[in-house]
Amino acid sequence: MATPHDHQSPDPSSPSPPLTVLPAYRPAPRPRSSLWGGLFRWAFYLAFWASISFNALILILIFAFAQSDNETSLRHRHHSGQKLAHDRIALIRIDGVLFEGLTSYAQKQIEEAAHDDQVKAIVVRINSPGGTITASDDLHKRLTDLRSGDLQKKTSPKPMVVSMASIAASGGYYIAMPAQHIVAERTTITGSIGVYASFLNVADLADQHGVHMETIKAGAVKDSGSMFHHMTPQERKIWQDMVNQAYHQFVGVVEEGRPKLKGKLTQEIVVKEEIPASDDKGQPLFNGNGETKKVPYTRVRADGGIFTAEQAKQYGLIDQIGYMDDAVAEARKLAGLGENYEVISYDRPHSFASMFLGEEVRQTQPSGLDFQKLGQAATPRLWFLAPQSDLAGLLAASRGE
């Protein structure tokens, strides 16, 4: 068994092995960077962190605007009067064809003005040829609640004046009825108290080319209004009844808004004269003596036709010929306001992209025909629409919801 003593100690007299001397470690010298290289690195770092900060800011803004959109609050801007005055007159703009899905901006303006306690009076600026009976009646109801107040929504009454622009006819006139005072510019076209429904009919063309539609139905008049056959008397009676009902509703709304016209809209003749007769091409017709034939020409207020501002004032359809300032002055008087008031209008809401980029960003439209929108435009409906505005109504229908 080995013990510690078995290991021999080195002999001190024996020569020592030579020492190996290792060279000292020296790091390789770093290459001296040029001035341009240093500037490039600093520029890269700055761009990198700026990009991160910018993207974080974008995310914060998107979140903030999404929150504000959920609150559905319109921004108002100074229109006239004294800036930052406590008492306000709200200017509500209603433009274009009135169609379901296209009146949200008008609805938001009405709601905003109704819940603003500083708004003491309303001026409704109308520039519309009318639209569907549903969209027109919806806005009429909302404006009536704005004028009279709504207990359920806890809104107070606000005096209302209408200012008519170039056209406020049919449905555009219908929605003016809640106002206590109506002002039209001297170039305004208004009136057109009437209703119509129109249907595309290609029955004769289909017969000429041997095309027809086979319809299997349950219900004698289920396919009334089909473009592939002529209306039967029963089918026509159904649509005529609906048109008549909507017409009586229109007359009732005008009589409610203009009590002095009660019983006069359809009964009182406002124009009675004789005019030269002509054929369907506008050429004059003559009698046996070589004289131009005369035919009677009569009008009532609710014959569906339009009137000039002067005629509308004469027949009691409006109260005053004037401009926006005249409407504001009347609203101020109805509200009992002094000189210290501000007229405000409401900005049309925009998307985040349009606000950030400072431009209107339109949604990408699908290429080709949009059959859903074509079907929307072709759907039969009743119109409070001014004469010669059929195409505008169809285009609005193709854009609606």
Active-site amino acid positions: 170, 222
Terminal-to-terminal C-alpha distance of the chain: 105
- Distance (Å, rounded) from C-alpha 107 to C-alpha 132? 16
3-class SS string, the chain: CCCHHHCCCCCCCCCCCCCCCCCCCCCCCCCCCCHHHHHHHHHHHHHHHHHHHHHHHHHHHHHHHHHHHHHCCCCEEEEEECCCCCCEEEEEEEECCECCCCCHHHHHHHHHHHCCCCEEEEEEEEEECEEEHHHHHHHHHHHHHHHHCECCCCECCCCEEEEEEEEEECHHHHCCCCCCEEEECCCCEEECCCCECCCCCCHHHHHHCCCCCCCCCCCCCCCCCCCCCCCCHHHHHHHHHHHHHHHHHHHHHHHHHCHHHCCCCCCCEEEEEEEECECCCCCECECCCCCECEEEEEEECCCCCEEEHHHHHHCCCCCEECCHHHHHHHHHHHHCCCCCCEEEEECCCCCHHHHHHCCCCCCCCCCCCCHHHHHHHHCCCCEEECCCCHHHHHHHHHHCC
Nearest to 99 by CA among 124, 126, 128, 136: 136
Instruction: Name the β-bridge partners of 181.
Output: 161
Handedness of CA 188, 189, 193, 199 (dihedral sign): negative
* Single-letter residue type at 143: L
